[in-house]
């Protein structure tokens, strides 16, 4: 497709059939060559930086990581690599820590993504109304996103602290027992999800808001004339109107949830952060990767986890596409 | 059509060649960098140092003093807060041969790994005169089998027990440091027994006897010449009766609810010190500074130090010089000076890090040091005596630091999750297998 259009344009650029070219001077030919270079070469020149950077910083590491994952190699002695073929993968498959981390990644992912997107939707709907100081609220909703993971996680860690944290203090004030947020599985996962929700809700809300503002106002008017309530308008006009944005945020959040790392690491602090709690109760796949690489210094096994995560994401999207195709064929 | 194809390919080749050249250029400029950051500039010798935590050289003004005495030397120190982060970076840099400092700090838990895997990358100190004043076991920890000395010792970690006088009084226990030491003299079991009495008789609210089971565990394990590895470098933690004994006693304390269920040096521990949620902490000498700082002015004089039931060494560091340093000799001279008896005594006086120099330990000026914060406890005497009780052989293993952390987490399982001790041991063993295997 692309070649046919360029060659068609190329024909125009030559200024006529090739037979005529013989009599023209070399100047004309050089001009044609430059023009050809410009038309044909420029696009490649423009996209080249991306591909060079991609090759150097994404593709090469990807390939090299897969190479490392087939070896037994330690960080201190990176030059000594022992070929083990797929042993690392087999070991990972049989490793209870991997399945535990996968389970945690999914549960933390669900309890952070679902409320986050629902809240973002609601927030966007509210921001979409005409009101005073809407700009202020829009900027305010983006502030958590601008905060660094480190700072946010550190503050939340202090809030969730067992003995002197503000949240347990508040629970105590209303007569409830304090919760050991770090040591117990579900409280720890909820606490980590809180950090994620806090950081990303505003960001998603702004994405939704941008999409909502592209919905023509007459649809709402029509719906209002038909007697639809605000809620009906929301479910029948707004949500279908921003469907593609919702899919986009789900994709983004899934990737983010799979790679969740900074929040649990800082929430646990020290050795517990790396291990995702004394009982690995909130160790995510990202943390497992880090533990293998930067605490056990086993780069081969660390690389294996990295590849497992990558394959997992591919799998998720393949399954999602399959489901969508099935649905489409069924409806048609 | 054919021409189009050819020219496309030609351009692709050109683009790739350009990219290649770019990469080469980047590579060249990288290798031009001075590898250690140090060197000779404008007639001055620049020496770079990489350290972690509070090693005391910068904090007590020793680096400044050296610069004053040697006007042609300029020292640039970079201090990482956390040793784990520091060591990971050091390993990466050693592997890459880039970004190293002329002088690098080495924590005791990493010493064996350095000796085993990085001996070629550190300079030899065996030819430096006047460095025969160290405790023999300290020096042997950083010496390779063929006699190469990869660094010089800074501090060591002899053990004591820090306790709250006021809480002991409320529990009807003696408060004088000599009498307190007598309560548990010779046996850590007695220390736990005192805890049971404390827990029963204390009338003053929600105060635990000790901060964390892991503190007790470390103090016990480090009292033996062999801990997790034997002298041949084999992993013996599961067969070593010393480890099992320490594990069981620490588990006893945890199950009896004698601990505040904290994790040392992690969130919760500091506010615990400030608010006085526990009455004792097994404290290596270097922990005193931390306790004083975090417990704060309000608790000054309430804390005291008593002799530990048994001698042990928990922690301590070395300073090594990187082989490829352009100012190797100057850096070695600086390290020898920083670890000389006078300077070690100075750091002990200012900050409480106990000297690894036998000569400094025996000097009267170290012996007479007291700690104002800990009710004028004679820490020079207490830790000086404790240092002599450390077993003369201290076998280190390659993954000591990692294994110590895994054991602490195993005890946390018992303390916080209520896991049965056998199950927690099983989990710990599996994790060690994964970490070192």
pLDDT digits (tens, 9 = 90+) for B142-194: 999 999 999 999 999 999 999 999 999 999 999 999 999 999 999 999 999 99
**Beta bridge mates, A157:** none
The predicted structure's pLDDT at residue B425? 97
Check CB contact under 8 Å for A272 and B23. Answer: no
* Residues of chain A positioned with their CB less than 8 A from the CB of B17: none
| Termini Cα distance of chain B | 59
Which tens digit of pLDDT belongs to each residue from A104-117?
999 999 999 999 99
The predicted structure's pLDDT at residue A16? 43
- Per the structure block, which two tokens stand in for A42? 């420029």
Interface check B94 vs A, CB under 8 A: yes
* Residues of chain A positioned with their CB less than 8 A from the CB of B261: 183
The predicted structure's pLDDT at residue B312? 94
Q: Concatenated DSSP letters for B294-333?
A: HH-GGGTTTEEEEE-SS--EEEEEEEEEBTT-TTHHHHHH
B residues 164-193 near A, CB within 8 Å? none
How far CA B199 is from CA of B170, B176, B269, in Å, comes to 11, 19, 20
The predicted structure's pLDDT at residue B13? 43
Which tens digit of pLDDT belongs to each residue from A183-205?
999 999 999 999 999 999 999 99
pLDDT tier at A332, thresholds 50, 70, 90: low
The 3-class SS string of B232-262 reads CCCECCCCCHHHHHHHHHHHHHHHCCCECCC
How far CA B143 is from CA of A111, B209, B330, B354, B401, in Å, comes to 53, 40, 21, 21, 19
* Residues of chain A positioned with their CB less than 8 A from the CB of B52: none
The predicted structure's pLDDT at residue A6? 42
Which tens digit of pLDDT belongs to each residue from B24-47?
444 444 433 557 888 888 889 999
Residue A262 CB contacts under 8 Å (≥ 6 apart), including other chains: A149, A150, A153
* Residues of chain B positioned with their CB less than 8 A from the CB of A72: none
- Cβ atoms < 10 Å from Cβ of B431: 22
- Cβ atoms < 10 Å from Cβ of A144: 16
Residue keyed to tokens 């025969």: B132
DSSP SS3 for A183? coil
Check CB contact under 8 Å for B95 and A279. Answer: no
pLDDT tier at A31, thresholds 50, 70, 90: confident
A130: left (phi over 0), alpha (psi -120 to 50) or beta: beta
The predicted structure's pLDDT at residue A272? 85
Q: Concatenated DSSP letters for A223-253?
A: HHHTT--HHHHIIIIIHHHTHHHHHHHHHHH
CA distance B304 to B407: 28
Tell me the mean pLDDT in the region B230-239.
Answer: 94
* Test mutation, B14, B268, B276, chain A, max A CBs within 10 A: B268
* Among candidates A76, A164, A180 on the partner chain, residue whose Cβ is nearest the Cβ of B94: A76
Interface check B84 vs A, CB under 8 A: yes
How far CA A143 is from CA of A138, A149, A263, in Å, comes to 9, 12, 17
* Among candidates B7, B271, B408 on the partner chain, residue whose Cβ is nearest the Cβ of A164: B271
Q: What is the dihedral of CA B378, B380, B382, B387, to 10 degrees?
A: 170
* Among candidates B11, B406, B416 on the partner chain, residue whose Cβ is nearest the Cβ of A41: B11
CA distance A283 to A291: 10
* Among candidates A161, A269, A295 on the partner chain, residue whose Cβ is nearest the Cβ of B402: A295
| Burial of residue A173, with CB atoms counted within 10 A of its CB: 0-12 exposed, 13-18 middle, 19 or more buried | exposed
CA distance B199 to B257: 9
Query: B325 vs chain A: nearest CA distance in angstroms?
Result: 19
* Among candidates B277, B406, B434 on the partner chain, residue whose Cβ is nearest the Cβ of A163: B277
Q: Concatenated DSSP letters for A196-212?
A: HHHHHHHHHHHHHHHHH
Check CB contact under 8 Å for B268 and A52. Answer: no
ipTM of the complex: 0.80
Tell me the mean pLDDT in the region A59-81.
Answer: 90
As a 3-state breakdown, chain B gives helix, strand, coil percent values, each rounded to 5, of: 50, 15, 35
Strand B354-355 to strand B208-210: parallel, antiparallel, or no bridges (unpaired)? Answer: unpaired
The predicted structure's pLDDT at residue B267? 79
Is residue B10 over pLDDT 50? no
Interface check B91 vs A, CB under 8 A: yes
Check CB contact under 8 Å for B268 and A162. Answer: yes
* Residues of chain A positioned with their CB less than 8 A from the CB of B91: 75-76, 297
């Amino acid at each position: 497709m692309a070649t046919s259009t360029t060659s068609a344009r190329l024909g125009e650029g030559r200024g006529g059939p090739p037979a005529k070219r013989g009599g023209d001077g070399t100047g004309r030919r050089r001009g044609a060559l430059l023009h050809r270079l410009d038309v044909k070469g420029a696009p490649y020149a423009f996209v080249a930086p991306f591909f060079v950077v991609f090759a150097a910083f994404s593709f090469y590491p990807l390939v090299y990581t897969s190479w490392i994952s087939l070896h037994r190699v330690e960080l201190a002695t990176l030059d000594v690599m022992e070929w083990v073929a797929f042993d690392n993968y087999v070991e990972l498959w049989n490793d209870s820590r991997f399945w535990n981390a996968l389970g945690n990644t999914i549960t933390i992912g669900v309890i952070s993504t679902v409320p986050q997107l629902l809240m973002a939707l609601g927030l966007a709907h509210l921001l979409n109304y005409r009101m005073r100081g809407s700009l202020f609220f829009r900027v305010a909703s983006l502030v958590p996103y601008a905060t660094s993971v480190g700072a946010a996680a550190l503050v939340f860690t202090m809030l969730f602290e067992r003995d002197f944290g503000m949240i347990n203090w508040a629970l105590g004030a209303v007569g409830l027992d304090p919760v050991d947020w770090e040591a117990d599985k579900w409280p720890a996962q909820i606490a980590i999800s809180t950090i994620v929700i806090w950081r990303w809700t505003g960001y998603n809300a702004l994405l939704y808001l941008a999409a909502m503002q592209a919905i023509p106002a007459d649809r709402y008017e029509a719906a209002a004339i038909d007697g639809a309530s605000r809620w009906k308008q929301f479910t029948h006009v707004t949500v279908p109107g921003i469907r593609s944005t919702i899919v986009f945020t789900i994709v983004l959040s899934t990737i983010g949830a799979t790679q969740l790392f900074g929040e649990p690491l800082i929430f646990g602090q020290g050795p517990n952060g790396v291990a995702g709690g004394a009982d690995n109760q909130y160790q995510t796949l990202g943390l497992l990767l880090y533990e293998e690489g930067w605490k056990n210094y086993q780069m081969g096994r660390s690389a294996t986890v990295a590849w497992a995560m990558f394959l997992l994401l591919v799998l998720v999207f393949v399954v999602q596409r399959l489901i969508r195709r099935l649905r489409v064929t069924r409806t048609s | 059509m054919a021409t189009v194809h050819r020219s496309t390919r030609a351009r692709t080749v050109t683009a790739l060649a350009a990219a290649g050249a770019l990469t080469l250029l980047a590579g060249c400029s990288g290798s031009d960098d001075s590898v250690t950051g140090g060197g000779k500039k404008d007639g001055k010798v620049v020496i770079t140092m990489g350290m972690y935590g509070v090693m005391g050289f910068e904090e007590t003004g020793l680096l400044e003093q050296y610069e004053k005495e040697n006007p042609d030397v300029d020292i640039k120190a970079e201090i990482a807060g956390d040793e784990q982060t520091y060591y990971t970076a050091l390993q990466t840099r050693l592997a890459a041969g880039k970004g190293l400092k002329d002088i690098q700090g080495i924590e005791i838990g990493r010493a064996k790994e350095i000796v085993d895997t990085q001996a070629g990358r550190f300079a030899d100190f065996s030819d430096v005169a006047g460095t025969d004043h160290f405790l023999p076991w300290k020096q042997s920890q950083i010496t390779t089998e063929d006699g190469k000395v990869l660094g010089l010792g800074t501090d060591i970690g002899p053990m004591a027990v820090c306790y709250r006088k006021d809480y002991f009084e409320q529990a009807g226990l003696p408060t004088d440091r000599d009498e307190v030491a007598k309560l548990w003299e010779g046996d850590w079991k007695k220390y736990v027994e005192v805890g049971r009495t404390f827990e029963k008789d204390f009338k003053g609210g929600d105060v635990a006897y000790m901060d964390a089971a892991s503190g007790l565990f470390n103090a016990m394990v480090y009292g033996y010449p062999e801990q997790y590895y034997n002298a041949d470098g084999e992993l013996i933690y599961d067969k070593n009766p010393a480890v099992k004994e320490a594990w069981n006693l620490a588990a006893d304390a945890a199950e009896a609810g004698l601990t505040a269920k904290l994790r040392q040096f992690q969130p919760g521990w500091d506010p615990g010190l400030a608010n006085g949620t526990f009455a004792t902490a097994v404290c290596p000498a270097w922990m005193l500074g931390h306790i004083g700082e975090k417990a704060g002015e309000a608790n000054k004089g309430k804390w005291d130090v008593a002799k530990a039931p048994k001698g042990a060494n928990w922690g301590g560091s070395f300073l090594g010089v990187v082989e490829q340093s352009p100012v190797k000799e100057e850096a070695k001279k600086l390290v020898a000076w920083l670890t000389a008896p006078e300077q070690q005594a100075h750091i002990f006086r200012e900050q409480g890090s106990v000297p690894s120099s036998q000569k400094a330990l025996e000097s009267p000026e170290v012996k007479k040091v007291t700690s104002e914060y800990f009710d004028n406890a004679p820490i020079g005497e207490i830790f000086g005596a404790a240092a002599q009780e450390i077993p003369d052989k201290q076998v280190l293993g390659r993954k000591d630091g990692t294994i110590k952390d895994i054991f602490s987490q195993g005890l946390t399982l018992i303390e916080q999750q209520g896991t049965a001790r056998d199950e927690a041991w099983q989990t710990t063993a599996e994790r060690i297998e994964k970490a070192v295997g």
